[in-house]
Structure 1
């Protein structure tokens, strides 16, 4: 059944009124001089066993914004960081004594605010409000759940343009590459597209909400001598950390092993540490380094090689 515009607009009006009455639009939120995000961060940390990443997930904030906010809370003496017992690389967040006092004041203020309002309602109305808010909150949370990512093989309309765009945007930001780089990527993909009929060649894309967010290809022809060339491996920034890069690489390497290539080669640039770690975890090793400037800025090009997978493994 289609939703009426009237009910949608009514919910929007009521939501705006709640935001204003609860103090989200002004200063002095929850009886403090903190921003709403800082107040919510303190309430999340109160639960215990929380890391910065958890705060970002809960508040739908990017990593840099969370880092700046937490630094202010730490400097104010309300929060402290400590190495986790299971993973010392992950800092766990806790409230200091002053932080617990501040959160206690926040909770007292909020309870009084809610109590003053719902005292004006009948017991039945209070349950209606509680259940309605719960259902609405759960429905809103579902809109933030990322759509599933699927790995698909072969050509699809727009694949060449989208992979070119992903490369151009990423390397313009990280390495200062411009038109020359984008043209080479586009030209290489166009030429490779004509050779996808060869069973030694393959391309895969990661799809989310109908959009290409990553890609990888194996060119089994251009290097000759039974060598596989891993090309156009890219993951959009929005999908970093989702594991899709590992999925793409493992899919491509499974194809390489099935085709019995003697080696797999790839070219990349120095400084992409996360990518290098992923390559090395899949048995690639650095075979060659050389400076290059043909892309518009100076970089240290690197060639990684993975030997054929031993039989029986």
Structure 2
């Protein structure tokens, strides 16, 4: 899927490392010609609270801008409060909510969107890109 068919000018992945261990990641993939999709922003619980999620998010958003996308979308679940607050702090706006059932729990899926043409608060930092 991503490894075999992505366009490196329009899609990228980053891995955060701490003490030579992989502790986080994020993907920027094409949703369509004008919209990038942020996928799988993950930070290992042992590495949280160090700003790694913010650095990964900022790099992903900066890449999407450089790649020429005009908007970025992402999907998350309502219990992921820290992630949602991070997205909101970077200018993402909630555009849709829908209930769903996953992992044996009733959840509310949330779609957020960011206008990449507005000046952002991103502070790009290159971690490891592939």
Structure 2 residue 97 is matched with structure 1 residue 289: yes
Query: Looking at both structures, which has the greater relative contact order when contacts are Cα pairs under 8 Å and sequence separation is at least 6?
Result: 2
Following the alignment from structure 1 to structure 2, what is the Cα–Cα distance between the partners of residues 203 and 262? Answer: 19
**Cα shift at 1:295:** 4.5
Following the alignment from structure 1 to structure 2, what is the Cα–Cα distance between the partners of residues 271 and 293? Answer: 13
**Cα shift at 1:229:** 0.4
Following the alignment from structure 1 to structure 2, what is the Cα–Cα distance between the partners of residues 301 and 295? Answer: 13
**Cα shift at 1:297:** 2.7
**Cα shift at 1:294:** 4.7
Aligned to 1:196: 6
RMSD of aligned residue pairs (Cα, Å) = 1.7
- Map 1:1-313 onto structure 2 (within 5 A): 191-220=1-30, 223-310=31-118
Aligned to 2:128: none
Q: TM-score, normalised by structure 2?
A: 0.84
Q: Deviations over 1:116-170 (max 9, x none)?
A: xxxxxxxxxxxxxxxxxxxxxxxxxxxxxxxxxxxxxxxxxxxxxxxxxxxxxxx
Following the alignment from structure 2 to structure 1, what is the Cα–Cα distance between the partners of residues 76 and 41? Answer: 10
Unmatched 5+ stretches in structure 1: 1-190
CA contact (8 A) 1:204 1:215 kept: yes
Give the structure with the larger helix fraction.
Answer: 1
CA contact (8 A) 1:195 1:201 kept: no
**Cα shift at 1:197:** 4.3
**Cα shift at 1:253:** 0.7
Q: How many residues align?
A: 120
4+ residue runs over 6 A deviation: none
Give the structure with the larger strand fraction.
Answer: 2
CA contact (8 A) 1:261 1:308 kept: yes
Aligned to 2:124: none
- The structure with the largest alpha-carbon Rg is 1
Unmatched 5+ stretches in structure 2: 122-130
